[in-house]
Amino acid sequence: MSTEFIHYTCENGSLGGLHHRFIQPPQAAYFVTTCDRFGNMNTTPVTMGTCIAHNFFSFTLSNLHAPQDAWDLDKNQWRDGIKQGYANLREVPECVISWIGHDMVRESWIAGCPVPKGISEIDVMGCTPLPSTLVRPCGIAECAVNLEARVLYSHHLGARWTNYICEIVHAAVHRSLVEENESGPLAGYGMLAIDPVFEVKIAAGDKPGEQNYRLYYDRLDLSKIERCPEDIGYDADWIGTFEQWLRDEVGHGHITPQEESRALELKRLWEKNMDPSTNGEVRRELTALLKKAVGK
């Protein structure tokens, strides 16, 4: 085992001392607005979630779950201390996801305060409810992107968290952002134009002895955006086929036509037998040619 790495065992729900930011890098912050059975709204700032999109948009988010006795049978209500977002999603499995731009940072901090259940954080933040089209919770008019979602599946993760897989059923995007995405300086970058913020850490201040823990955000540096250069890969489009890629690497001067032909032959030989113990020489030669094609 290499001494250049520190190893952690993360089985059975334990991180084994591993800092969670090595597993989950900083993610863009967003509001999740839910409502209870009476229609009372709750808005929570969240930084755990991801989207998978291909003709169907699913969004995965997490929230603290409650113990099995969270519902008070005598009072017919949730017990004190139960997270409002969890309770609301049990009653109405719908939500609105609203991305947080840098202009909404202070509001996100306000939404994280312990506002009493049934009192809308949107009102306390001084923001405007945005009526939804297909779900009961509302969006936030000051947020440029509001995604209406229905919970498809939910399950507990370990002792603290509930994981929700939601379907995005409707989106309300501010006209100015749509226009920016079509023809502005950030055309094609989508919500990047709202200057999103990313949760970096939760820690005390920088002054010695300061104990007031706060949420730290970071922002993207748009001057560091990089595009894949023209001297590598398929010229006509993104990725292309293996044959197209090799042909264009010949055009780039990275490999010769003879090496191109040899690589194509090696690919055919490798596909016939992908066992590295019996066909390792073919794999090594093909790998060497591909490394030369990309300048390695």
Residue 165 C-alpha from the chain's centroid: 13
DSSP string, 80-113: TT--HHHHHHHHS-EEEEEEPBGGGHHHHHHHTS
**Cα–Cα distance measured from residue 98 to residue 139, given in angstroms and rounded to the nearest whole number:** 7
Instruction: Let me know if 282 is exposed, middle or buried by CB neighbors in 10 A (0-12, 13-18, 19+).
Output: buried
Q: How many secondary structure helices (H) and strands (E) does the chain include? A: 7, 13
Distance (Å) of CA 268 to CA 264, 272, 278, 283: 6, 7, 15, 11
Buried b or exposed e, range 240-252, using 16+ CB within 10 angstroms: eeeeebbbbbbee
In the predicted model, residues of the chain with pLDDT beneath 70 are: 1-2, 13, 54, 64-81, 159
Kindly list the domain boundaries of the chain, sorted by start residue: 20-224, 242-293
What pLDDT shows up at residue 211? 76
- CB-based contacts of 278-286 (< 8 A; 24+ apart in sequence): none
**Ramachandran class of 233: left when φ > 0, alpha when ψ lies in -120 to 50, beta otherwise:** left
Q: Name 50's Cβ contacts closer than 8 Å, sequence gap at least 6.
A: 27, 59, 60
Query: How much of the chain is in helix, strand and coil states, percent to nearest 5?
Result: 30, 25, 45
Task: Confirm if 30 and 46 have CB atoms less than 8 A apart.
Answer: yes
What pLDDT shows up at residue 162? 82
DSSP letter at 191? G
Task: Confirm if 62 and 116 have CB atoms less than 8 A apart.
Answer: no
Distance (Å) of CA 164 to CA 32, 46, 150, 153: 12, 13, 10, 6
CATH architecture classification, 20-224: Roll (2.30)
What pLDDT shows up at residue 7? 85
| Each residue's pLDDT tens digit, 242-270 | 999 999 999 999 999 999 999 999 999 99
Structure tokens at 120: 């809308």
| Each residue's pLDDT tens digit, 152-184 | 998 887 767 788 889 999 999 999 999 999 998
